[in-house]
Structure 1
Amino acid sequence: MFDFPSTRALSVALVALSLSSSFSSALAGAGDYEFQLLQPETQAGNDAVVAVRLVDRRSGKPVSDAVIFASRIDMAPAGMAGMAAPIEAIPSTEPGIYRYKARLAMVGDWRLSLAAKLQGEAETVQSQLTFKATP
């Protein structure tokens, strides 16, 4: 059997390349993703809508199909963390945009806390975003 050094080198290079691409995707973590408020202010009321975008920081592209399993809205930035409001997810027509309807009874600073799982990621993406409810 003949052993060709260039064939062996090519085989080693291909194996190394496949391992490095697998390794680099395994290095992606929760810190590679970010929730962003679409608007820093929303009108207070029973049907206030707060929208966020989930972005992959590495590519800048929106991330669709996240499973958001925890959401909470409260007035912690105003020193009233116990003042929480009911919140529910509502449909969005844009990829990577997640919308919530909340009953914001008071004007002031509010915090939206989210926790999400993404396909292929072991870590949970968590975020706390502050916005203002206006009259």
Structure 2
Amino acid sequence: MTNTIKRAALAALTSLALAGTAWAGINDYEFKLVKDEVRQGEATLDVRLVDKRTGQPVPDAVIFAKRIDMAPDDMETMTSRIEQLPSPEPGIYRFKAKLTMAGGWRLSLGAKIQGETGTLENKLVLKATK
């Protein structure tokens, strides 16, 4: 075989290998509530960040936006203070919020994931009970 044919064969094999590779994108990740029901008052909220393709936890994301409001009960302007706490384990992100009323609450998160371009944004719904 000549060098030209060898290079063409190698290029074709490389193209085939790359075509079968699943490249990750920001849409391959999502936040999930560990528990979707908590007690009204001072609440600790644990959220798991997972790679949807593998189900594996994703550590070391940078949470730069967080908001909690009562949008599920048509009271989007009813917000509460939310504070990020240290992570209890890799892939779990912990928050403390004062849920002043029983009912539906929406937790909105914005994050950057290392090695990925774009911003992950998720809105999670939970219920506060008396």
Q: TM class by shorter-chain length?
A: 0.7 to 0.9
Give the counterpart of 1:33 among 23, 29, 53.
Answer: 29
Number of equivalenced pairs: 129
**Within 2, Cα distance between the matches of 1:77 and 1:4?**
65
Alpha-carbon distance, 1:106 to partner: 0.7
Aligned partner of residue 90 in structure 2, secondary structure: coil
Report the residue type matching 1:134 in the other structure.
Answer: T
Alpha-carbon distance, 1:53 to partner: 0.3
Q: Structure 1 regions of 5+ residues with no counterpart?
A: none
Partner of 1:69 in structure 2?
64
RMSD of aligned alpha carbons: 2.2
Partner of 1:129 in structure 2?
124
1:16 maps onto 2:15 in alignment: yes
- TM-score, normalised to structure 1, is 0.84
1:84 maps onto 2:79 in alignment: yes
Alpha-carbon distance, 1:5 to partner: 6.8
Alpha-carbon distance, 1:91 to partner: 1.1
Partner of 2:39 in structure 1?
43
Alpha-carbon distance, 1:24 to partner: 4.2
71-80 vs 6-15, greater mean Cα deviation:
6-15
Q: Structure 2 regions of 5+ residues with no counterpart?
A: none
**Within 1, Cα distance between the matches of 2:10 and 2:84?**
50
Report the residue type matching 2:39 in the other structure.
Answer: Q
Aligned partner of residue 74 in structure 1, secondary structure: strand
Alpha-carbon distance, 1:107 to partner: 0.7
